[in-house]
Amino acid sequence: MEDTEDFVVDDDVFKEPMKKRKRSDRDQRFRAFPSVEQSALKEYEKLESRTRRVLSNTYQKLIQSVFLDDSIPNGVKYLINRLLALIEKPSLDPIYIGLFGSTGAGKSSLINAIIQQAMFLPVSGESICTSCIVQVSSGCCEQYEAKIHLLSDQEWKEELKNLTKLLHRTEEPDREEADVWDRDDAVEEAIWKLQMFYGNGAERKSYEELLRARPKGKIPTSRIITLKAEEAGELSVKLDPYIRTQRRDLDGESAQTQIWPLIKHVEVTLPKSELIPEGVVLVDIPGTGDFNSKRDEMWKKTIDKCSVIWVISDIERVSGGRAHEDLLNESIKACQRGFCRDVALVVTKTDKLHLPEYLRERKVRNGAILSQREAVLERNEMIKLQRNRILKEKLKRKLPGDSKVLEASNLVYTVSAQEYWQQALLTEEETEIPRLRGYIRKRLLDKKRRMVTKYVTEAFGLLLLTDSFNCMENPPNEYLHMSGLRRFVEEKIQLLEKAIDQCFAHIEQPLQEGVRNARTSYRRILGACLVRSRGNQGFHQTLKAVCLKNGVYASRTLARIDLNEAITQPIYDQIDPVFGGIFRAGMPTGSTLLPHIEAFKHSLQEKMMEIGVRNGWKYESYKKSFLIQEISAILGGLEDYILRKKRRIYESLTTSVQNDLKPCYEEAAQIAGKKACERMKDVLRRGVERQVAEGMFERAQERMRHQFQLLKNGITEKVKGSIATMLTLASSQGDGLYKELADVKSEYKEMEKLHRSLKEVAENAVLRRGMQDFLLRMSPSKAVPHKA
């Protein structure tokens, strides 16, 4: 197993816990929230801070009590390590919100409006602006800061090798290839990168010659460039050359643009934002990926780690087109393979409308349109209704019917960054920028509430155990009770294994049907991928790039090409709803994994309560409470483990096909000379035919089954190991596990109060929200702009 156990006994138990955050810094985190939400957050932050203080005091006492001992009992090591892990646990894992859109869709303009900085990220209505993944977040720093991450030396060498292979051709290519050479997008981009990095003529040099060549720009040894500024505009000017797509006719490029081909991604941190709360990361994600393997892998991983994806499409392109559909499909796949739980369509530039044309084509006849503003609002409402219905239907085809994303009443936002600044037609509220900010705040507040509740509850369980080390509650038949509980746990684990098998069995039939469909449709799909409307014109080197990258080609200007994904799509069409059903949360069903684990947890907790009542454990027994709390902590960590593993399971089909087809990709990539394009296509067709005949799809099916089995093994191993350790610690018969420790009763009582106050804090938050909603309903609506 590549993952270690959740709780490992570490001999280095004298590690100093990290410093706690200053109060002034903590208060700055709430600036983005209205007063009502600030109050709720401050209460949760106070709970968390006091809990960390109790844990830290307990940790220090335990360290002092065992510091001079020659050997530390395993039980004490376990406890100290668990305390330290909780103390150093991050206050909140970032919420990544991915803005995923095509060239010119308005992603950067939208981020600028959300963060209230009009021209912070480069924008242009005519061409690609943002050239790489850009992450924007706020922190407690005093300055604006950007970190530009560059490809490592090895990563650049890999790209350089592929770029020079792509540019290689025989001395006498046929006339067709010579005529279209300069019109090939893949070749133009390769030439452009090499010239920018090494200078004119670099495209004619070999890989070995370029390795010896000196780059035009200076490359820092750390491969990170850090920029700082006091004002947003100052940082924007410094940052612009690194993230703006460089024009190919640019004369006298700067030192910054000379290393532009090396840039992997950029992280921007804003100081103390009043609009974007700390803990939220807005990610500007280019729509197609990248030719470089590492950048392309990062593109996929970035999409997968986003818990929210906003598909960005401007008003003129939202009604169709391959690019828009590709973005939606990629976003839905992120729900299947990644952490994404929420997908929405954000339609940009919604102030654009030609009034005479709209009035001529207008189908709604229930009232006269008297102004441009009325037409824009009516059109935007129609777009919401239409696209919301279409998006929900698409999601229903791919995801389980009870998926959380389908519960949202509206999955579409109609925004205008330009009107947000000008307000010539629309009010600030009508631009829907504030609505997006409100969504962001709600996500963070909900996550903070869940995190603190879990944190305080887990800490309370640990303090119960700590206090128990000096407790004299040891009934004579205690060993028999724990032995009976161990047998019960073993039986329940066996039942859990059967439930997991039954859960995974639901994928079997659609998987088989998908394989049958793939076998009957692969020729048609491959043929469609290899055909262009203008024949081979401009496609020769693009196809070569596809082969060099094992069937995948990502360009900044063309639609993404992935032959492996296309060939396996018939399988995914069959398994998607069932696959999503396996990994969703909800009521226990035969095909749902997480509720089975939740049911397993409850059965153990109920058994512990039963044993406690039957055998005389006191109502507030430390042992009973510790066991119940620790079971929640152990099994609660399984959800993240499962979510990390599901990406590997989901992608096992395309990965398997890609591995099987790698020899024919490599063979096709070596072809040059006359009729090279047709010869490459022929190699690919014959290679696919041969692999299909030898069972390529069946092997992919078996590899997915194997990944499911690995997940099952990982779950049961983690459950067995962690629960066995916990039961051993709870048993008073374990030799050498316990010793008399420092008195922590005061810390235990403090933690008990904090645990009880969770309910009060939650009730206060609900009450404040109700009061806020009432005041909003009673307040007058904002006036419309004066330029109607």
Phi, psi (degrees; rounded to nearest 5) at 150: -105, 160
Q: Among residues of the chain, what percentage have pLDDT more than 90? A: 38
- Check whether 260 has a pLDDT greater than 90: no
Give the model's pLDDT for residue 703.
97
Contact 263, 130 (CB under 8 A): no
Confidence of residue 729 (pLDDT cuts 50, 70, 90): low
Give the model's pLDDT for residue 737.
46
Least confident range of 75-79, 98-102, 279-283: 75-79
Nearest to 701 by CA among 558, 508, 567, 531: 508
Confidence of residue 248 (pLDDT cuts 50, 70, 90): low
Q: Retrieve residue 322's tokens.
A: 């391959």
Residue 95 bridge partners (DSSP)? 280
Residue type at position 361 = E
Confidence of residue 180 (pLDDT cuts 50, 70, 90): very low
- Sequential DSSP letters for 631-693: HHHHHHTHHHHHHHHHHHHHHHHHHHHHHHHHHHHHHHHT--STTHHHHHHHHHHHHHHHHHH
- Check whether 758 has a pLDDT greater than 50: yes
Of 650 and 174, the structure prediction assigns the larger pLDDT to: 650
What digits encode the pLDDT tens for the residues 211-221?
A: 999 998 889 99
- Check whether 19 has a pLDDT greater than 70: no
Mean predicted confidence (pLDDT) in 571-585 = 88
Least confident range of 91-95, 369-373, 439-443, 733-737: 733-737
Give the model's pLDDT for residue 649.
95
- Check whether 369 has a pLDDT greater than 80: yes
To the nearest whole number, what is the mean pLDDT of the chain? 82
- What are the b/e assignments for 762-775, b being 16+ CB within 10 Å? beebeebeeeeeee
Nearest to 702 by CA among 512, 561, 469, 464: 512
Give the model's pLDDT for residue 170.
37
Give the model's pLDDT for residue 686.
96
What digits encode the pLDDT tens for the residues 759-780?
A: 888 777 677 666 666 666 666 5
Mean predicted confidence (pLDDT) in 619-640 = 70
Q: Among residues of the chain, what percentage have pLDDT more than 70? A: 79
Give the model's pLDDT for residue 723.
78
What digits encode the pLDDT tens for the residues 465-476?
A: 777 666 545 554
- Check whether 2 has a pLDDT greater than 70: no
